[in-house]
Structure 1
């Protein structure tokens, strides 16, 4: 594996015998980028093919194929000495293949009988084959019982019976359940289950999800290899049982990427410290494991072609143990290329090997083209191949010992190339990741090797496996401590503009730093100023300056027992939906968000916990318009709203179903109620709004109760990304309505220790079973929906206690 990792470098001590000057050896070692355009074309074409309609995919694939033929003809007739026709022909050929493969793989997931049944939320009985390890997700909300968990099972549906029709097919699905009886299932195992089908989230590589409320009916056993892998993984978990909670969860994560038992606080520390990659199996794991096997083999006398054969067996065994996840497959492909080079004696450069691996993996699994994890894995490997070797040379020339230079170069190179992608995910830049990775590097290899050894010996001797795990606890403890201390620094991460613009800006800054940094570093005043600035940033007081978070789109304000939501409407002003019960709390939230202009205030209904904070919204701000529910109930509160509006020179206007508005790039429509609402229930008269911005759909539901929710379900608002849970998450919900939305995130606005028992455990559990990420103002304080890219989102929690000032 080391051969691949350093193939892009310049071999010291070359004798230059090929041309007498050494230039031939340097040419041999210089990275070969000719296959990069083909990999990039395949990557982009695979991502495009997944979303193009069939006709569009055919046009693109045929067009690229014709262009590839033309370039190949140019290369054959008179342009043999020019590289570009061959490079272009390869890129276009790969683009044609990737587009066609992606479109063919995506077609059954977008149309056909199963997606149609899922769109109708049909009940079905499914015979399936498990395709990956079931994952147990602990609740992310406080107060939920241990039994209220979500189990996610990747599977392939083979027989579906629904509405009296039996379908035989082979399409991927996802099983969602709270039954832990699914957890022992292994990949390759056949089972039967009944539940309700649903449309998956956009971009998911499945045709449907099925919510199951019972355990599986087993129809067969998995294959021998999967049974062996299951025994080894279970043995690893058992061996780690005697460790402290953080180390117990980290050991399986470090070895096979199983983070199901990693405490949430440790997981957060890893994110802040830039160490999350340690729990995602990648090329580093493969290099450590295969390198350890080859080291032992050489020591015991194995030589010649037996070495690559043994390395290949170790590699395949590790892939089975870790499961063929995208990062594992990428690492395995690189490993096989390296082992092939070792077997044949031919020197292959690392960059073409990486490009070839990317092409092969995208053709096998086009959805990797949309995976941030795959992008990070490829970029990190590219950094080690291209950036690390010259960086090692530069640092070594500055009198750093070679070992120290290599230790610094690897995290610096990987961090530099992956930072723009990480910004898309977190809207922040880590200032401690390089140092944290440098500090944990000596502990990763021994912990990984000991973990693999524990898994291997566990079936034979559980006591010996436990002994290996306890020895591994020492380096594991060090990794946990480095993550905790790094994450605890006041400026561990700093905010950065979100989205692709922020990523491009960071890439430009890093590029400029790479070009100008060496020259500036030689100027002593500049060096002193840079070090002083870094120390000032790291030693600043431990306050939270990152509010509002970059890229915020919607904020649920912590205003106590009530609703107050703010949406970013751009320069024209924010949109405020409800004002909560307290003017001071409403004013505080808007002030902290920097809102000075309000394009529109919408009061969903006239209950005090939604309108009494209106004077705080109006205080010192320009408010352009006020819209209200058509039902003026209770009359006293409606009169108070009218009086406050009159003082501000605004006339409240009732809304009606179908009304459409916009503010900047924010668009929305009124989903309910009708302008002439004739009911008497103020909660069901709540104004329900469907917002769209930055590729997200957000449904704000006021306090609608089950009858109003059923009406909304019939009106079919469709799949949404964010749901403001009705009526503060009370127990009175139409759960079929909540399930039909397939929300990725849900906001619950409730007061701490309120007398109503909001939010109800049954409602939280129902959302959790669907895999919804929940933000609660009673436990999380202000909660922001942040966009990390077109259609991507995250919840940022400010923390409780911010309401008091």
Structure 2
């Protein structure tokens, strides 16, 4: 029972956090007290042993901490000021690395921070409240650990932070980062320098393996890692810590360190790892799970590991209750539990007919995969069929890539050439892992679409639970084990048919690429003109795959915002791409740079007024007109969008990019009397439209390319109502998936899905 009680301790803590976070405050408190009372009554009547008071205490403690933290955040002076949109003076410490994200009107620098002082509306407060800092691309970047003062406007945040901070003034540095942050930054820079001259993907993967620094990884490659179940290698995980600290202990023993000093060495390694990888909740969580894995490697490891896992979950949730709703936390805990509890049983079953090294190599990734599959499917809508094999093939290269990558970084601090030599095998190992990810993602059925609804996820969870007792029965006999393996191989290597897709006679597809545009015009068999590439290479690549497009004679990028160009690598992946054209306004610079890096050259400017024929597609560029002027209060990149009138199979289509009202008004004057059959609604259905012009075009079908649950309120209900009132039927990618237009006698049909 000690293992079960230890795991119940963690389960109780997790339940308490979920109750406090998901339910309203008073309801959560009532539920926690009710469960505690029932538990105490059960113990008092000796229906359960007193040892089970521990999980109840964990539930109450974590639930109370979570409720208290949420109350403190909600009632913070920052939250009150944010509700009024106040401009205040702040003192804050940056607690995460700054990352660049695409905003509606340009790139933003985003970082987490803790505010220690705020002054506004005639009052000053000293406090400790978490915020998210959101600054423009031209705001000076502030390193992790720096304390600054600045003037900013406060905006309401979510339940995790007291406010969003939008600086309106320059930062004034009050205190530089502490020495350990400088040391950690130096190690991270040295790791990158040690592999700087290697293959582009390898030099990005090694820092990801060592300290989770995956900022420069190719998005298409990252998607291949997701498809093959290797994503855990790209984030800071318990595996990283286990490898690093394990290598330190081996070296320590070789150097003569014994007894308690080995524990001191391990503790120093854990602390050093956490600081180097950034002491954020996700990193501390990974360190805790890695420590549990190290306990599992000792004598009586299964029992010690289970106890360690329960205590680790309790400790982490007492510090950060919101980890309870973190996918990374769930995956980490489930994978660790699977390895500790399931893998030994499955290993013993395989030992009946396989060598020990084979049994362990198969059972560990299989147990982790089964434990994590429902959560992975809930996040991605897919179930990987190659994850176990991919992890088996990648496993031998993970340790040298991680340990030697870190070793190269540390030695590079002393002498750069030595670091380069030591890190060379790390880069070679990373190249092998990359090859495994790409191979696995390229097999015909690497993953199957499963869905994220309650019914499919419930069925998948029940199947994984059934695998717990069933797997040992199958694995202990070579006949059944090999038969299951052969069946899986056949399913993976033979692509299942998709009857009726792509639909016969399709002419235009608005790909479901999330919050962005990715439009495909059929130019012939397996050929298409692509207009914009969306924000996600994987989504764009998958859409073109579904349409069986292998040749793109023309790619048009209407403008350089991330939601139109960041997915370009997905268009280029495995296809023959001909001409690439774009707007002449080279803004924002980050988007222009990303396009240049992906393409290897600058795209040609789209030629205004020129009509061309590309296969079955006739195209004319009707905007931007040379010398045209638009409203300075609008987004210049949006208003410089390339606007196209296309015709396919006799159907006329207007593709509008993200043009805003002033540009639309200019188009109304330039193209007086224009009539089209299909309208691609500008700017994802933003409320900023020239509705009179849009409804005058005579379109009977409108397509809105938009992401589900986006933060911009797209598409605007008023716009949809106006289009509907004028007789336009509107189709949206956020509710319909891929929207496919099909030429039919006397009109145009619409098919959704794919």
Task: Please list the CA deviations of residues 182-202 of structure 1 after superposition, one character each: whole Å capped at 9, or x if unmatched.
Answer: 545023x2012334322234x
Q: Distance in 1 between matches of 2:198 and 2:676?
A: 61
SS of residue matched to 1:699:
coil
Alignment check: 8 A CA contact 1:38 1:87 kept: no
| Correspondence 1:737-776 to 2 at 5 A | none
The equivalent position to 2:67 in structure 1, one of 103, 119, 138, is 103
Q: Distance in 1 between matches of 2:29 and 2:266?
A: 41
Q: Distance in 1 between matches of 2:387 and 2:28?
A: 41
| Correspondence 1:701-740 to 2 at 5 A | 701=715
Cα distance change on mapping 1:276 and 1:350 into 2, 3 Å: same
Alignment check: 8 A CA contact 2:76 2:162 kept: no
Aligned to 1:200: 157
Q: Distance in 2 between matches of 1:214 and 1:547?
A: 53
The equivalent position to 1:118 in structure 2, one of 57, 65, 82, is 82
Question: CA shift at 1:273, angstroms?
Answer: 1.2
Alignment check: 8 A CA contact 1:60 1:99 kept: no
Name whichever of 223-232 and 383-392 sits farther off: 223-232
Pair 1:504-2:462 in alignment:
no
Alignment check: 8 A CA contact 1:124 1:160 kept: yes
Question: CA shift at 1:517, angstroms?
Answer: 5.6
Q: CA RMSD in A?
A: 5.2
Pair 1:41-2:12 in alignment:
yes
Aligned to 1:471: 425
The equivalent position to 1:159 in structure 2, one of 113, 117, 137, is 117
| Correspondence 1:18-37 to 2 at 5 A | 32-37=3-8
Aligned to 1:452: 406
Pair 1:177-2:126 in alignment:
no
Aligned to 2:204: 249
Name whichever of 358-367 and 278-287 sits farther off: 278-287
Q: Distance in 2 between matches of 1:503 and 1:393?
A: 30
Alignment check: 8 A CA contact 2:90 2:119 kept: yes
Alignment check: 8 A CA contact 1:552 1:785 kept: no
Cα distance change on mapping 1:380 and 1:347 into 2, 3 Å: closer
Q: Distance in 2 between matches of 1:310 and 1:199?
A: 45
Question: CA shift at 1:90, angstroms?
Answer: 1.7
The equivalent position to 2:363 in structure 1, one of 401, 409, 422, is 409
Pair 1:127-2:88 in alignment:
no
| Correspondence 1:210-609 to 2 at 5 A | 210-212=165-167, 216-333=171-288, 349-398=304-353, 400-516=354-470, 531-532=486-487, 534-540=489-495, 558=519
Alignment check: 8 A CA contact 1:125 1:193 kept: yes
Q: Distance in 2 between matches of 1:477 and 1:421?
A: 29
Aligned to 2:569: none
Alignment check: 8 A CA contact 1:60 1:96 kept: no
Task: Please list the CA deviations of residues 699-757 of structure 1 after superposition, one character each: whole Å capped at 9, or x if unmatched.
Answer: 344698xxx9xxxxxxxxxxxxxxx9x99xxxxxxxxxxxxxxxxxxxxxx9xxxxxxx
Q: Distance in 1 between matches of 2:233 and 2:190?
A: 21
Question: CA shift at 1:539, angstroms?
Answer: 2.8
Alignment check: 8 A CA contact 2:113 2:131 kept: yes
Q: Distance in 1 between matches of 2:407 and 2:395?
A: 19
Q: Distance in 1 between matches of 2:345 and 2:334?
A: 17
Q: Distance in 2 between matches of 1:341 and 1:387?
A: 13
Q: Distance in 2 between matches of 1:476 and 1:509?
A: 34
Q: Distance in 1 between matches of 2:185 and 2:394?
A: 29
Cα distance change on mapping 1:546 and 1:310 into 2, 3 Å: farther
Alignment check: 8 A CA contact 1:68 1:90 kept: no
Cα distance change on mapping 1:546 and 1:390 into 2, 3 Å: farther
Question: CA shift at 1:609, angstroms?
Answer: 11
Q: Distance in 2 between matches of 1:464 and 1:261?
A: 24
Cα distance change on mapping 1:160 and 1:368 into 2, 3 Å: same
SS of residue matched to 2:256:
coil
Q: Distance in 2 between matches of 1:128 and 1:32?
A: 43
Question: CA shift at 1:284, angstroms?
Answer: 1.2
Gaps of 5+ in 2: 504-509, 522-529, 533-615, 617-642, 652-667, 679-684, 724-729, 744-748
SS of residue matched to 1:33:
helix
Q: Distance in 2 between matches of 1:262 and 1:553?
A: 20
Alignment check: 8 A CA contact 2:94 2:114 kept: yes
Q: Distance in 1 between matches of 2:296 and 2:439?
A: 42
Alignment check: 8 A CA contact 1:67 1:92 kept: no
Task: Please list the CA deviations of residues 178-222 of structure 1 after superposition, one character each: whole Å capped at 9, or x if unmatched.
Answer: 4376545023x2012334322234x5x211112347753211112
Alignment check: 8 A CA contact 2:445 2:493 kept: yes
Aligned to 1:580: none
SS of residue matched to 2:258:
coil
Task: Please list the CA deviations of residues 506-540 of structure 1 after superposition, one character each: whole Å capped at 9, or x if unmatched.
Answer: 12223334545666786969965873564154232
SS of residue matched to 2:117:
strand
SS of residue matched to 1:219:
strand
Alignment check: 8 A CA contact 1:308 1:340 kept: no
SS of residue matched to 1:397:
coil
Alignment check: 8 A CA contact 2:400 2:425 kept: no
Task: Please list the CA deviations of residues 483-524 of structure 1 after superposition, one character each: whole Å capped at 9, or x if unmatched.
Answer: 111111121111103134322211222333454566678696
Q: Distance in 1 between matches of 2:97 and 2:86?
A: 26
Q: Distance in 1 between matches of 2:402 and 2:691?
A: 65
Cα distance change on mapping 1:785 and 1:440 into 2, 3 Å: farther
Question: CA shift at 1:372, angstroms?
Answer: 0.5
Query: Under a length normalisation based on structure 1, what TM-score does the superposition of the two structures give?
Result: 0.62
Question: CA shift at 1:260, angstroms?
Answer: 0.9
Alignment check: 8 A CA contact 2:302 2:340 kept: no
Cα distance change on mapping 1:512 and 1:545 into 2, 3 Å: farther
